[in-house]
């Protein structure tokens, strides 16, 4: 009986592997191509669905790979207000995300960071002051509110990358529904 089950397991693994669901790499993991996302198109399409003006960040440096985009439509919920998220990988392989939402600041921080942490400082980028707090997994988070819209920049990227994205937001184009 054990021999039959063993043979059946080997056949199942072979079939599973043949259909591309398993890879074998005895030397360890290999570098793969990072996923890409149409962040600009996503932000433009989301603007009429979220109920607040969405900012398309200005030009970002060469080597920044747009790799994620998602949004939550209005009316949202108490735990997830209407939100737009766009993310990039920097040339150093770090990620950075900007979140835009018209939810209450505390609600946005809880939804995006797991908690509304206390401020640890501020960063001035152009005419805009960003409040620095902690994000998930010991990451940084920068928060700015302008009128009814909150922006949260978070990720594992270096502080100069946060400044770059904050400046791109300041230089960005607003899209309304």
Query: Which pLDDT score, from 0 to 100, does residue 83 have?
Result: 93
Residue range 95-114: average pLDDT?
Answer: 90
DSSP 26: T
- The pLDDT of 114-125, averaged and rounded, is 85
Among the four given CATH numbers 3.30.200.100, 3.40.50.80, 3.40.1010.10, 3.40.1390.10, the one describing domain 39-175 = 3.30.200.100
In the predicted model, what is the mean pLDDT of residues 59-84? 86
Average pLDDT over residues 52-74: 93
Q: pTM of the entire structure?
A: 0.79
């Amino acid at each position: 009986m054990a021999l039959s089950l063993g043979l059946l397991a080997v056949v199942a693994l072979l079939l599973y592997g043949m259909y591309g669901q398993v890879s074998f790499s005895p030397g360890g993991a290999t570098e793969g191509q990072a996923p890409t996302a149409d962040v600009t198109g996503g932000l433009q399409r989301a603007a009429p669905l979220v109920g607040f003006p969405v900012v398309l960040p200005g030009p970002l440096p060469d080597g920044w790979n747009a790799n994620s985009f998602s949004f939550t439509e209005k009316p949202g919920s108490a735990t997830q207000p209407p939100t737009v998220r766009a993310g990039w990988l920097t040339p150093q392989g770090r990620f950075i995300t900007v979140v835009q939402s018209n939810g209450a600041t505390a609600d946005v921080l809880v939804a995006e960071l797991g908690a509304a942490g206390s401020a640890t400082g501020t960063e001035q980028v152009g005419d805009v002051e960003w409040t620095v707090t902690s994000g998930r997994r010991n990451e940084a988070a920068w928060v700015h509110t302008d009128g009814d819209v909150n922006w949260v920049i978070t990720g594992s990227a270096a502080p100069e990358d946060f400044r770059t994205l904050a400046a791109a937001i300041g230089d960005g184009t607003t899209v309304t529904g």
